[in-house]
């Protein structure tokens, strides 16, 4: 085979390889009507949205493999003056993740639903450090 | 899908390999030239000798060196499948480990990679391995280490990795080793132009152009390199550009005056761990290195005088803004004092400083600069032809620490033809960085003392025809090492008492046996309790074949690496799965001598088996990806 004829299909393969076949993921908030969700992330993806009950993220291409869905949640109820959790009147978002590991593969489309029975606190959030 | 692409790649490579007739490979790099000083003073010096400053004198047929070194040709670094210069160097150097997080962007601050680890030292903070480019030490004034992204391989002529510290010759930071990089220059009258444009996965684009010229008493080099990519995941992309300009005046025979300016601009982000991405954690770094060098050979005395300045501005997403500076100079003379005794003496000085503020909170950090001066000497004695003895010392006088005595001694013997035995002991040091002393990220300690390491190594090298085998044992005892403990807000940075490392390094290289060349290198080390990003085993390998093909030459290479015993934290906590990847490359070199042109289309395939691996916990490396390009030389 002439080397040029060998390199041409390789060049085509390069172009094809540039196209992503990463798995696509959507996350839906079905925790509770009083619960807001934000900073949703999963295996390399991050959605900068606040999801009310029943709302979903847009599809994003994530890495293949296993991860939990990580997010911050806020229970949107009338503030209780005796509640010591509220700091300076600001709502406090807590870090949560799904209890179950989710697996996605190349080329797949996955729709993950956040439900109250698949929920635990997330202590794996990196601390504030820089530079 | 990506596995299918990888299989297709291998199939096409196999087809191309079987369809051409194998032929004996010629010189790998016939245009390789030694530096003018080296060529004029020692015409018999081997072309691979990487450092021009020590090569002088007619009595020596080979460079005097009792150190354990790995010499690499620039061509191999440029053609590596690895996406960054440091990764390419590490893959061919026993014991050298470099972290990575993507397709060529190491970044800065949180989540950055590119840390150099050698013989249990280096890494985070990445300040114990010194990088010297064209005779100029490269470390930032505040952070004490180079920017890994600022090294583009396009101009590199030679790299020498000095395994084990040598602060006698190189001063602070040369604790675990030194990476010496020499860039190309044109020594023959005329000019040449090279352009290398590549495109590949993740919308990655790489452009490298270099122009080299020589006319009369002047030669000049200009190069520009740019890399941009979307990255393999959100936040993993970026944009780096490096501009390198250098002019050299051949003032008179054996006298060179060189002015060099290098500028780097890098933007990107810390993508964060895959579980909690942080693509909004951006950085913007600008750095500028300028040096003026005089090299002169007079009556057998080689004099070298160097001045340099290294300035940088770093901006981060959280308001951090720093301006730092490193300025220094050294002058040294090397001469034969007797028939078999050679001496090198020198003086050096450097100063580091900078300012730090947060543009959001308006807070300013109180940073005090450091200044050092030093005198050093090294004597090499060759009592008989097969034996060389070396001893050296350096005294550093610091504005903060007073006098710092350093030493080294070594022996090199050639008891049998083509068999070299070598042993060396050295005491090296590193001064605390201004970041460690003053910047609370995550904490600081202004009372930190310099750290020291005493290294012994001994080894044997057998070089016979096309086979080269090297085996080395080493042990290092470090004292007062600076280590971070804990996490924000309760972290602390302190000097620890004693840290011992020992290990073995080895390599086998087979050059041009028929169409094939191969190399295998590996290392094993006992790093004790400081296991953070400090792997205990690693192996690098490559097999290459050259064939005549059509009117040109086809080169195929399969390379890879394995890293084991990797942990995210000290005390063997948070183990990371072994790193293993295999890369492949195919190049076709077509020369048109009548037009003075060469074309070189190429294709690089990385991680062809699409393995999932990471050097840093949570920072997964890309799966199978490709980069195709065309290099044109005229």
Domains parsed from chain A with CATH numbers: 20-121 (2.60.40)
Is 90 exceeded by the pLDDT of residue A83? no
Residue of B nearest to A4 (CA): B588
Residue of B nearest to A127 (CA): B488
**The CA-based dihedral angle spanning residues B130, B131, B133, B136, taken in that order and rounded to the nearest 10 degrees:** -30
**Contact at 8 Å (CB) between B472 and B462?**
no
Segment B503-531, tens digit of pLDDT: 999 999 999 888 999 999 999 999 998 89
Residue of A nearest to B553 (CA): A3
From chain A, the residues in CB contact with B272 under 8 A are: 126
Segment B382-427, tens digit of pLDDT: 999 899 999 999 999 998 888 999 999 999 999 998 999 999 999 9
Q: Which bin fits B202, alpha (ψ -120 to 50), beta or left (φ > 0)?
A: left
Segment A43-73, tens digit of pLDDT: 999 999 999 999 999 999 999 999 999 999 9
Three-state DSSP string of B29-57: CCCCCCCHHHHHHCCCCCCCCCCHHHCCC
Q: pTM of the entire structure? A: 0.88
Segment B5-37, tens digit of pLDDT: 554 444 444 444 444 333 333 333 333 333 333
Segment B332-383, tens digit of pLDDT: 999 998 889 999 999 999 999 999 999 999 999 989 999 999 999 999 999 9
From chain A, the residues in CB contact with B318 under 8 A are: 130
DSSP B101: -
Structural domains of chain B in order of their starting residue, each with its CATH number:
2-633 (2.40.170.20)
Half-sphere exposure of B453 (CA within 13 A, CB side): 33
Segment B52-69, tens digit of pLDDT: 433 333 344 344 578 899
Q: Which among B633, B611, B11 is positioned nearest to A1, based on CA atoms? A: B11
Q: Would you list which residues of chain A are within 8 Å, Cβ to Cβ, of chain B?
A: 1-4, 6-7, 9-11, 13-14, 16-18, 21, 41, 43-46, 60, 62-65, 67-68, 70, 106-107, 124-131
CA A130 to centroid of chain Cα atoms: 23
Q: How far apart are CA B411 and CA B456, in angstroms?
A: 12
Identify the helix (H) or strand (E) that includes residue B87: helix B85-91
Segment B234-244, tens digit of pLDDT: 999 999 999 99
Q: What is the mean pLDDT of residues B444-452?
A: 93
Segment B616-626, tens digit of pLDDT: 999 999 999 99
Write out the two tokens for B117. Answer: 């680890």
From chain A, the residues in CB contact with B601 under 8 A are: 4, 7, 11
Segment B553-564, tens digit of pLDDT: 999 999 999 999
What ipTM is given for this predicted complex? 0.82
Q: What is the pLDDT of residue B185?
A: 93
């Amino acid at each position: 085979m002439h080397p040029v004829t060998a390199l041409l299909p390789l060049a085509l393969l390069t172009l094809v390889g540039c196209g992503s076949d990463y798995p696509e993921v959507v996350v839906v908030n079905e925790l509770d009507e009083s619960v807001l969700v934000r900073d949703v992330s999963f295996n390399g993806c991050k959605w900068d949205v606040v999801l009310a009950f029943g709302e979903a993220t847009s599809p994003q291409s994530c890495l293949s493999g296993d991860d939990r869905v990580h997010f911050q949640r806020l229970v949107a109820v009338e503030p209780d003056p005796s509640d010591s959790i509220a700091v300076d009147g600001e709502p406090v978002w807590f870090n949560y993740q799904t209890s179950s590991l989710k697996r996605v593969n190349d080329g797949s489309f996955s729709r993950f639903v956040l439900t109250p029975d698949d929920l635990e606190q997330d202590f794996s959030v990196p601390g504030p450090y820089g530079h | 899908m990506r596995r299918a692409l990888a299989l297709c790649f291998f199939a096409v490579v196999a087809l191309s390999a079987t369809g051409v007739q194998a032929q004996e490979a010629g010189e790998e790099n016939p245009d390789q030239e030694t530096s003018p000083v080296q060529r004029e003073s020692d015409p018999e010096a081997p072309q691979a000798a990487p450092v021009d400053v020590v090569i002088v004198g007619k009595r020596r047929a080979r460079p005097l060196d009792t150190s354990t070194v790995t010499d690499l040709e620039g061509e191999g670094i440029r053609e590596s499948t690895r996406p960054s210069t440091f990764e390419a160097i590490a893959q061919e150097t026993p014991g050298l480990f470099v972290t990575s997080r993507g397709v060529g962007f190491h970044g800065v601050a949180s989540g950055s990679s590119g840390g150099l680890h050698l013989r249990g030292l280096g890494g985070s903070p990445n300040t114990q391995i010194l990088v010297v480019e064209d005779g100029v030490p490269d470390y930032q004034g505040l952070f004490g280490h180079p920017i890994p992204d600022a090294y583009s391989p396009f101009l590199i002529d030679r790299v020498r990795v000095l395994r084990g510290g040598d602060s006698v010759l190189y001063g602070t930071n040369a604790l675990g080793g030194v990476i010496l990089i020499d860039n190309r220059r044109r020594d023959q009258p005329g000019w040449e132009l090279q352009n290398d444009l590549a495109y590949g996965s993740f919308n990655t684009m790489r452009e490298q152009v270099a122009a080299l010229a020589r006319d009369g008493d002047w030669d000049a080099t200009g190069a520009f390199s740019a890399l941009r990519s979307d990255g393999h995941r959100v936040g993993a992309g970026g944009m780096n550009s490096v501009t390198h300009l250098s002019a050299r005046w051949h003032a008179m025979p054996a006298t060179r005056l060189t002015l060099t300016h290098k500028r780097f601009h890098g933007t990107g982000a810390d993508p964060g761990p895959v579980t909690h991405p942080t693509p909004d954690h951006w950085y913007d770094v600008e750095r500028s290195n300028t040096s003026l060098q005089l090299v002169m050979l007079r009556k057998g005395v080689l004099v070298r005088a160097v001045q340099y300045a290294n300035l940088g501005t770093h901006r981060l997403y959280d308001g951090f803004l720093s301006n730092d500076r490193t300025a220094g100079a050294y002058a040294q003379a090397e001469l034969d004092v007797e028939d078999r005794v050679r001496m090198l003496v020198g003086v050096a000085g450097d100063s580091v400083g900078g300012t730090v503020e947060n543009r959001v909170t308006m807070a300013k950090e109180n940073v005090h600069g450091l200044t050092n001066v030093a005198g050093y000497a090294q004597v090499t004695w060759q009592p008989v032809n097969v034996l060389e003895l070396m001893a050296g010392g350096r005294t550093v006088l610091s504005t903060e620490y007073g006098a710092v005595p350093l030493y080294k001694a070594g022996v090199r013997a050639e008891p049998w033809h083509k068999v070299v035995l070598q042993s060396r002991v050295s005491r090296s040091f590193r001064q605390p960085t201004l970041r460690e002393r003053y910047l609370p990220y995550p904490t600081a300690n202004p009372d930190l003392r310099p750290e020291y390491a005493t290294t012994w190594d001994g080894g044997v090298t057998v070089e016979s025809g096309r086979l080269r085998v090297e085996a080395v044992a080493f042990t290092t005892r470090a004292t007062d090492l600076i280590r971070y403990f804990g996490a924000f807000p309760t972290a602390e940075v302190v000097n620890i008492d004693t840290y011992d490392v020992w290990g073995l390094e080895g390599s086998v290289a087979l050059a041009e046996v028929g169409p094939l060349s191969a190399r295998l290198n590996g290392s094993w080390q006992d790093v004790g309790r400081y296991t953070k990003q400090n792997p205990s085993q690693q192996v690098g390998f490559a097999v290459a074949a050259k064939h005549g093909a059509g009117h040109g030459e086809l080169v195929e290479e399969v390379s890879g690496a394995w890293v084991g015993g990797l942990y995210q934290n000290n005390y063997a906590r948070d183990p990371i799965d072994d790193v293993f990847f295999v890369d492949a490359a195919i190049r076709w070199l077509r020369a048109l001598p009548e037009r003075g042109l060469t074309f070189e289309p190429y294709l690089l395939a990385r991680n062809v088996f699409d393995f999932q691996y990471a050097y840093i916990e949570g920072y997964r490396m890309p799966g199978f990806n490709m980069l195709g390009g065309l290099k044109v030389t005229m």
